Amino acid sequence: MTSRLDYKPAVLLSTPALVAIMPFLAACLYVLRFSFSADESSIAGFSVSSYQALADTYFLSALGLTLKLAVFSTVLVLVLAVPLAFLLATTRSPFLRRMLTVAILLPMILNLLIQAYGWIILLGPTGVLNTVLRSTGLITRPLFLLFNETGVLIGLVQTALPLAVFPILSATRAVSRECLEAAASLGAGHWRTLFDITLPVLRPGLIGAASIVFAFNASAFAIPLLLGGRRVQMLGVVIRDMISPMFNWSSAAAAGVVLIAITTLALVLASWATNRSAKKEVR
């Protein structure tokens, strides 16, 4: 008499969940199949022409822009997320910690539209930031921070920040106080300790966080749509335009497969890098 389950009852108990996820799996296969369709607007025959059509400059420049913004935003997010995770880890008061958690989680939980409205009011030509800077005399002409790459980059950093803070926070548990004290007693300064001890210990968490942020931002849609104002053609927006004004469904599917391949590759590379550094430590 044990509480272990055999294969049969375990599969039976998972069946409702498997049924619930079935449409997702069907959708994945549908997109893959559509990308190889010979016809643009329906599934018919086999052809790689949709992939060949992607080799034009329009798609390639969108791909380049997407990779650039995803890399920049990942670097910026990590620079901000590490101190925030440290702050959360060292905050003693439960109330303060709860407030910090809510503030950091907000961008992840809240309707993306509301956040975009906030940025539009803040960064617009007659927005808060420009008004403040002009009234202090720092600038004479308004800065263009919205409906260009700068605006999208700021939005990407904001929405992806919680995705990085929480994995790094759980990674900080591996940083022992004894180790930090030992470093201090040997005369290492705070910066030296950060770069020689803390960050190397955090490396698996950092790699994981970076890959999630990269994958998330490479496939961003709402932020470039709302803050890019049609001028910042990231892949998500380009794919949507293939569907809606252009009705080229098979190319949209092919571009989507490329996007999925990029995000998957980032995650696979990250887990490979983590495993490799773990093996190195054992040796």
Partner 1 sequence: MMRVGLIPDEKGGTYRLAMLALSCLGLLIAALPVVIVVIMSFAGSNRPSFPPSSYSLRWYGDVLHMLTTADANGGQSVARALQTSLLVAFAVMVISAAVCVPLSYAMARGPARLRQTLEILFTLPLVFPLVMLGIAFLLMAEGMKLDLGLWRLIIPHVTLVLPFVMRNCQSAMAGIDPEVEEAARSLGAPPWRGFLNVVVPMMRPGILAGLIFALIISFNEFTITFFMYTIDVNTLPIWMYSRTVSSLDPSVLALSVFIILADSALIILTDKIVAGKASLF
> Of 126, 186, 245, 280, which one interacts with partner 1 (CB under 8 A)?
126
- If the CB atoms of residues 41 and 52 are measured against partner 1, the closer one turns out to be 41
b/e map of 37-58 (b: 16 or more CB within 10 Å)?
beebeeeeeeeebbbebbeeee
Applying CB under 8 A, what is the total number of residues that bind partner 1?
A: 106
> Of 67, 143, 184, 273, which one interacts with partner 1 (CB under 8 A)?
184
- Residue 168 interacts with partner 1 (CB under 8 A): yes or no: no
The radius of gyration computed from the CA coordinates of the chain, to the nearest angstrom, equals 23
Token pair 């060292």 is at which residue?
A: 90
CB of 230 to partner 1, least distance (A): 12
Give me the DSSP letters along 109-174. HS-HHHHHHHHHHHHSTTSHHHHHHHHTTS-SS----SSSHHHHHHHHHHHHHHHHHHHHHHHGGG
- Residue 269 interacts with partner 1 (CB under 8 A): yes or no: no
Q: How far is CA 37 from CA 49, 203, 240, in A?
A: 8, 43, 18
Site string for partner 1, 139-158 (x = CB under 8 A): ---------------x--xx
Amino acid letter, residue 58: Y
Q: Taking CA 93 as the corner, what is the angle to CA 91 and CA 94, rounded to the nearest 5 degrees?
A: 105
> Of 60, 75, 96, 121, which one interacts with partner 1 (CB under 8 A)?
121
- Residue 170 interacts with partner 1 (CB under 8 A): yes or no: yes
- If the CB atoms of residues 107 and 228 are measured against partner 1, the closer one turns out to be 107
Name which of residues 218 to 257 contact partner 1 (CB under 8 A).
218-219, 221-222, 236, 239-240, 243, 249, 252-253, 256
Name which of residues 49 to 88 contact partner 1 (CB under 8 A).
79-84, 86-87
- Residue 173 interacts with partner 1 (CB under 8 A): yes or no: no
**CB distance 214 to 266 below 8 Å:** yes
- If the CB atoms of residues 165 and 210 are measured against partner 1, the closer one turns out to be 165
> Of 60, 75, 113, 265, which one interacts with partner 1 (CB under 8 A)?
113
